[in-house]
Amino acid sequence: MQYYFDHAASTPVHPEAVQAMLDVYTSMTGNASSTHSFGRAARQLLNRSRDCIAAQIGSSAAELVFTSGGTESDNAAIAGAAYAMRNRGKRHIITTAVEHHAVLHTCEALEEEGFRLTILPVDEYGIVAPADVEAAIEPDTALISVIYVNNETGTIQPIAEIGEIARRRGVLFHVDAVQALGSMPIDLRTLPVDLMSFSAHKVNGPQGVGALYISRHTPFHPIIHGGSQERKRRAGTENLAGIAGFSKAVELSVKNMAARKLFLDELRLRWVECLQAMAQTSSIVVNGHPSQYVPNIINVSFIGVDTETMLMNLDLEGIAASSGSACTAGALEPSHVLHAMGLPAERLQSAVRFSFGLGNTMEEIEIAAKKIETILRRVRTTA
């Protein structure tokens, strides 16, 4: 039997999202930029999908740009805003040490182009202090970029407070909300955010499609050039089937958010109880904030068992988990997020991320926990 506990990397596609995509593949021929009837039908579907997603996040449809996923959305938001603000004499970017690499590497690439970069530290729970953000702002600060929900620990950042600071100081604010969408309410009518990134495959939609919110007054320089799609902000023929699946997935995830959270809270609590009861409390440490987190992501250190050994044994038992971000997990290097939190080596080198979602059950949790007990006993006996 297989146990998929790596939903933070990618989620199973919801059957209704699959059907929405199949409907496009089997009955939609036109390009949404064409003016004939086939193109108009494609454009109508594109507009309906955009309207649906915009309604779920409190934005206007005109503020939503479709992309190939979270990485492109992050790149476009940061580079697009930075280039636009450079024309106004602003070259300073602020971010944190616990961002996804799609943000950190983009910021570092811009630094090589002449922008100045400030990377702020976080506390032992992975939270950046709003006061530190404000203290880092300079007269030429163009952009602040902070992740909403950390993809490795599930920790929630104080986005509203940071956004108020950014707005008061006249600085653009980008939020990577890839792990927040569907896990917590997002209302861009009230959140002080200028740009926000999303990805379909984190909310039971297809891989290879995402979106970027760009508020109507935000200066933006496109990074992909070609046609006039997406109001000239992102050239290229839209992924119509993927967008239809994305739209349905967002609609379902927001509609079912309360019930899903209740179930995942129970699942997470039971998971921790099982692990601590079977592995001795002192040997299991949960990394991240004790209360400010989304319930579907939990990062656990199995003290005395290194991450690579644990993941290998989990895989042999049919349990899918991760050492951190799926974009870097193949390297099996210590997490830059946990390192930034200042965790001791014994926790840093034994951390495993479990993430839950569609299809997981309480029975799975209890069976998998027993398998982990067997793994720990075997590994510690032979160590």
Catalytic residues: 327
Q: Read out DSSP for 305-374?
A: S-HHHHHHHHHHTTEE-BSS-TTTGGG-PPPHHHHHTT--HHHHTTEEEEE--TT--HHHHHHHHHHHHH
**How far is 152 from 355, CA to CA, in rounded Å?**
9
Q: Within 13 A of 218's CA, how many CA atoms are on the CB side?
A: 32
CA distance 379 to 323: 18
Rg for the chain (alpha carbons), in Å? 21
Residue of 46, 334, 95, 59 whose CA lies nearest to 186: 59
DSSP 63: G
Give the separation between CA 115 and CA 83, rounded to whole angstroms: 10
**How far is Cα 98 from Cα 128, in angstroms, rounded to an integer?**
9
For the chain, the first-to-last Cα distance in angstroms comes to 27
Kindly give, in sequence order, each residue whose CB lies less than 8 Å from that of residue 374, ignoring residues fewer than 6 positions away: 317
